[in-house]
Amino acid sequence: MASVLPPPTRALVDAHGRSIRYLRISVTDRCDLRCRYCMAEQMTFLPRAAVLALEEIATIAERFIARGVTKIRLSGGEPLVRRDVGDLVRRLGRHVGAGLDELTMTTNGTRLRQHADTLYDAGIRRLNVSFDSRDPDRFRFITRHGDVAQVLDGITAAQEAGLRVKINMVALKGLNEDEIPSMLQWCVDEGLDLSLIETMPLGAIDEDRIDRFVPLTRVFDDLSTRFALNRDDHRSGGPARYWRVGDSDTRLGLISPLTANFCDGCNRVRLTTEGKLYACLGHDDQVDLKAALRTGGVPALDAAIDEGLRIKPARHDFRIEAGAAPAVARHMSVTGG
């Protein structure tokens, strides 16, 4: 695949003065798991004809790099279910150190045994693995059919390939809240990082999210009685706040969209698999980059990106209340994690 970056142009700054340096790309809305907080059990996915071609994803990503984005995260759905994702990783990996500081991926880990070496060879050095329980029965319940052994083997494969792994764990009342301390201890023992995430009201699911919501303020207070947690100034480019766990190499991150709003420093925009640019995870406003690219090439793409920055809101409107409708109708798998 040819790679040509047009000359740099206007910087990516939104209407609130925030510089945009981080692009998250959902390469597919499909997934081989059906996590209860993320998807309904019976999902309707986009027809393949509606999905961006690999060349289009690369062209849009490279335009963002030319305009100042320094970090790209590939996500889904599950990005590794897309057959041509390796080609995309290799193409974007060429820009690491030449405009791009980091290329990363969020995965559920089920296919890492097959893909870990390819990801490392293409320039990825760090992965997030969504993993909410190490208990086989709990994991199967949360994901509706997942095999915990497959994910654990994938994490091992990633480490063997030289990839640094961070575990993303959504805190779920009545499902895995009691497992958080043991998950953190396991991460310390295995040389992994851990980020805890509050459940977000995105898309209709088969249960009321208020029944599963755990405020991370409470979780942190509990962990502080069990571990020596020292504030760490590390920034990964995302919304997490970090603590070092004792004298280990493990960082604990907290992503708290409801109890600790992080919008003031938002540096992110998201590209969906069908080419829509969402400037905020919690709003429905978007611009169609696919249509712009197909009808007007790079000039029209630049204009559409500028419009996306113009409509980026000051903050999200997430709230968790009994019976409340989701903040937006689309599921997380559509926008990308």
278 is in an annotated binding site: no
174 is in an annotated binding site: no
The residues, ordered by sequence, that sit 6+ positions from 224 with a Cβ below 8 Å of its Cβ are none
How many whole angstroms separate alpha carbon 122 and alpha carbon 94?
Answer: 8
Structure tokens at 242: 């970090």
73 is in an annotated binding site: yes
151 is in an annotated binding site: no
37 is in an annotated binding site: yes
Chain centroid to CA 67: how far? 21
31 is in an annotated binding site: yes
266 is in an annotated binding site: yes
Query: What's the per-residue H, E or C state across 171-203?
Result: EECCCCHHHHHHHHHHHHHHCCEEEEEECCCEC
187 is in an annotated binding site: no
Query: Taking Cα atoms as reference points, which of 105, 154, 304, 67 lies closest to residue 146?
Result: 154
71 is in an annotated binding site: no
| 286, 265, 301, 45: CA torsion to nearest 10 | -40
Tell me the sheet residues that pair with 285: none
Alpha helices of the chain — where are they, by DSSP H? 54-66, 85-93, 112-121, 136-143, 148-160, 180-190, 216-224, 289-310, 332-335
How many whole angstroms separate alpha carbon 152 and alpha carbon 140?
Answer: 13
90 is in an annotated binding site: no
Q: Do residues 133 and 176 touch, judged by C-beta distance below 8 A? A: yes
10 is in an annotated binding site: no
Q: Give burial (CB, 10 Å; 0-12/13-18/19+) of 43.
A: middle
130 is in an annotated binding site: yes
How many whole angstroms separate alpha carbon 276 and alpha carbon 113?
Answer: 31
The residue type found at 122 is A
169 is in an annotated binding site: no
φ and ψ at 64, to 5 degrees?
A: -65, -40
Residues annotated within a binding site for [4Fe-4S] cluster: 31, 35, 38, 263, 266, 280
Residues annotated within a binding site: 24, 31, 35, 37-38, 73, 77, 106, 130, 166, 200, 263, 266, 268-270, 280
Residues annotated within a binding site for S-adenosyl-L-methionine: 37, 77, 130, 200
Residues annotated within a binding site for GTP: 24, 73, 106, 166, 268-270
